[in-house]
Chains A and B, each alone.
Chain A
Amino acid sequence: MSAAAHIIASDAEAIAVATALAAEITPGADERDRRHQHPLAQLQALGRSGLLGIIIPGELGGTGASFTTLAEVLRLLAAADASFAQVPQPHYVTLLAVLLAGTPEQQAFFAAEVLAGKRFGNALSERGTRTSMDYRTTIRRDPSGSWRINGTKFYCTGSISADWVPTYALDAERRLLLAYVPRNAAGLQVLDDWQAIGQRGTASGTVTLDDVQVPDAYVVALWRALEGPQIWNAFARFLHAALDVGIAEGALHAGATFLRTRTRPWSEAGVERASDEPHILLRYGQLATELAAATALLRRAGHLLDAAWRNTDADSAARASAAVAEAKAYAAETAVTIASEIFAACGTSAADESSGLGRHWRDARTHSIHDPVRWSHHSAGYYAVHGTFPRSRGHGGAAAAR
């Protein structure tokens, strides 16, 4: 990828750049979805835009933008093309891991990489383990003192076109390390075998690691950062919430355009236009209000997360994590509801493949099952009742974010 990335100067500029990029990628979104196409050219534009480095602090040369701003960026991009917008989600999560757990040298090195437009993919999850939080991939010292990684990963969103592939692996003491593997490292292979009903362009398929060699400089001792109160897990879920809010917004607007331009009024309504039917106006107002509620919860979570990042302790981390859980569950359910309900308003012709409206529901349905909504509600309820966040969600526990 190009090494000439723009440096974004402020939160406001980040929003402006994202707004412009969203406008640029919107027209091709339906076509890319039909062709299951990974948005390579669009991702190159993302790299050049400078958006990949906005959460890097000023002292490392970045924008130092808030998490709230980052969520706005992802929301804007997801409203345009949710597959495209999900690709940088693991980038930001693994970038924050460097900021949280990397050595000063690692932070300086990887910040410079990202500010040059380089992007992180991911090789975190694995198929076939007892639960999705269990890992078989190993990292061991070889005789030369380097590390060697062996394993097979899935759900590796964006790795096919990334510059680095951050990989979860367990060391000999079964501690979780995060190894940043160069995309072109010998023994690393990325397969384009993602065949989902939605988020088709994310290339969220298989990565295999066959005795891949990495130096100490590329390995972050993530487990240490996860021992105490932290907001890294919440940050990852927060970005998923932003994507779901964006999907909901994209669906609502696509439905509105269809309603205004294509839908015929129902015969009993006695109006000339479907968009003047009282029942449709009521329903659309309800859906728009659900979207407003999801957006408000996302911002609330963002403010609490920003505060907890500045000053992390058990209370601030738990409060922010609960707010993120509420926002994520709400956003996921809202995205699925809106993407489905626009069909009820738009009528039979909306079910034609050519309408393009199906993409929104398929994307919402696919992305919203990243992790179960029921357990997000559960953790928010746990916090409301007990005033703490469940350890199983990664607070002083071993669970790791994706």
Chain B
Amino acid sequence: MSAAVKLPQGDTAPVIASDAEAIAVATAYAAGIAPGAADRDRSGAHPFAELAALGASGLLGIRVPRGFGGADVSHVTVAEVFRILSAADPSIGQIPQNHFVFLEALRYVASPEQQRFFFAEVLRGARFGNAQTERGTKHAKAINTRLLPQPNGDYRVSGTKFYCTGALSAQWIPVLALDEHDQLVLAYVERHAEGVAVIDDWNGIGQRATASGTVTLADVAVPRARVVPHWRLFESPQIWTPIANLPHVAIDVGIAEAAFADALDFLRHRARPWYEAGYERAVDDPLTLERVGRLAGRLHAAHALLLDAARHLDAVPAAPDEATAAQASLLVGQAKAYAGDVAVEIGNDLFAIAGASAADAAHDLDRHWRNARTHTLHDPNRWRYHRFGDYVLNGRLPPNNRAN
């Protein structure tokens, strides 16, 4: 396999050694990026410098298996890292979601040589973006992009992708495509390979700095050694999909946490008491406190469901049976639906708690709702509830696929 790609900041990252260190590094990193979140939201500019610092922090390598030099932290720790990052800035929190997804895919279906190469890349601080979804197909999971076999055994690929979160600043872009046998594969393409263009045309109302826009691939050369047989993941019961969904839950919990914290901060320091209430301070208004308490319960429940789902994933054996894998899917899906609802609700209720002056655009407090509303559309939560209802009522397990 060819040489490693060039990283924006030197060519090394510290290797994080433990779960506790991962949490500490994430906490410190989050404190660094939090102050700029509102400005980044306003400008919509992609956070190149912050992402270079993320690569240099060592956090991108925490799920690399121990045999390859990583800390192989638990799913609970991954969930906590995403929650911590997303409470500071959910755009930056979402960008590594795909990275962890395609890092995880390598554990299950890559060759030992591919694992050695890419795990080393990731431990150096390289990041995976993504080019999976296509616009205008029959449904969100249908794709037209194909790998075309070449006489020398390698491939070429052409196509147009959208929702390519983070590809703009990634070092590698895993491209979802069909091979000559109509099987789903992942082609790990260098970000700056000839024929790859990443267009920053993401214009979402929220998650504005994620650069979740277009990637075009024009006859891009793909060595066979960089093609991973994605389809094999779904040949037996798997927890790759729930693992991929877990960061989405954590991102929503992080958004909810940030919105709740901002609501309390505004209430303590800026909000005036309502004159009918008869209190000197807004923080003594009993009706406000009742609402705050109600939201605190929902926020803590969302976090508890996230941790329950992550603990379940940590307990799943290497080759799970159908019921165990499906249970993981159901628990993550349930946590995702709930956390999404809570994030949207708190992003919205923040204003009822904080009062009229919180609507001043100078505070940019609406970014929480815009971020929650946008991120929770990743896949429809009504079908997460539906799946859980089908399990509770009929004992029916979700299908083994890229959504469940």
Residues of A within 8 A of B (CB): 252, 256, 259-260, 275-276, 278, 280-286, 288-289, 292-294, 296-297, 299-300, 322-323, 325-327, 329-330, 374, 376-386
Contacts and interface: CB of A to CB of B under 8 A. Distances in A.
Contacts of B291: 377, 381
13 contacts: A252-B392, A275-B394, A282-B386, A285-B387, A286-B385, A289-B334, A293-B301, A293-B302, A296-B301, A329-B294, A329-B297, A380-B297, A384-B296
B283 interface: yes
Given A322-B296, A330-B297, A377-B290, 6 more contacts: A256-B392, A280-B389, A297-B300, A297-B304, A327-B297, A380-B292
Main secondary structure of the interface of B (DSSP, over half): helix
B267 interface: yes
Interface string B270-304: 00000000000001001011111110111011101
B109 interface: no
B300 A385 contact: no
B113 to A, nearest CB: 43
Given A374-B290, A378-B286, A381-B289, A288 B392 contact: yes
A385 B268 CA distance: 8
B289 A385 contact: yes
A293 B293 contact: no
Contacts of B267: 385
A138 to B, nearest CB: 34
A382 B293 contact: yes
Contacts of A374: 290
A259 B382 CA distance: 20
B305 interface: yes
Given A385-B267, A385-B289, A278 B386 contact: yes
Nearest to B291: A381
A384 B292 contact: yes
B290 A381 contact: yes
B370 interface: no
Contacts of B298: 293, 330
B385 A260 contact: no
Interface of B: 260, 264, 267-268, 283, 286, 288-294, 296-298, 300-302, 304-305, 308, 334, 337-338, 382, 384-390, 392-394
A45 B40 CA distance: 64
A292 B392 CA distance: 12
Contact of A299 (B297, B304, B337): B304
Given A282-B385, A384-B292, A275 B393 contact: yes
A383 B300 CA distance: 13
B295 to A, nearest CB: 8
Contacts of A297: 297, 300-301, 304
Nearest to B305: A296
A378 B290 contact: yes
Contact of B393 (A256, A322, A378, A379): A256
Contacts of A289: 334, 337-338, 385, 388
Given A296-B308, A297-B300, A299-B304, A385 B393 contact: no
Contacts of B382: 282
B394 A326 contact: no
Contacts of B389: 280-286, 288
A252 B388 CA distance: 13
A276 B395 CA distance: 12
Contacts of A286: 385, 389
B386 A281 contact: yes
Contacts of B264: 384-385
Nearest to A294: B301
A320 to B, nearest CB: 13
B292 A381 contact: yes
B307 to A, nearest CB: 8
Given A256-B393, A276-B394, A281-B393, A326 B338 contact: no
Contacts of B390: 281, 285
Contacts of A381: 288-294, 296
Contacts of B302: 293
A146 B323 CA distance: 64
Given A285-B385, A326-B300, A377 B394 contact: no
A296 B249 CA distance: 16
* 9 closest Cβ pairs, A-B complex: A285-B389, A381-B293, A380-B293, A285-B385, A381-B292, A296-B304, A284-B389, A381-B289, A326-B297
A342 to B, nearest CB: 11
A138 B393 CA distance: 54
Given A284-B393, A296-B308, A326 B385 contact: no
A279 B84 CA distance: 35
Given A282-B382, A288-B392, A325 B301 contact: no
A84 B285 CA distance: 39
B114 to A, nearest CB: 38
Contacts of A376: 293
Contacts of A252: 392
Given A280-B393, A296-B305, A285 B386 contact: yes
B289 A300 contact: no
Contacts of A379: 293
A260 B264 CA distance: 45
> Max chain B CB contacts within 10 Å: which of A280, A283, A325, A380?
A380
B293 A259 contact: no
Contacts of B337: 285, 289
Nearest to B286: A378
Nearest to A257: B393
Contacts of A329: 293-294, 297
A260 B392 CA distance: 11
A363 B394 CA distance: 26
A281 B268 CA distance: 42
Indicate the member of B290, B293, B308, B337 with the most A CB atoms within 10 Å. Answer: B293
A305 to B, nearest CB: 14
Contacts of B388: 284-285, 288-289
A293 B335 CA distance: 9
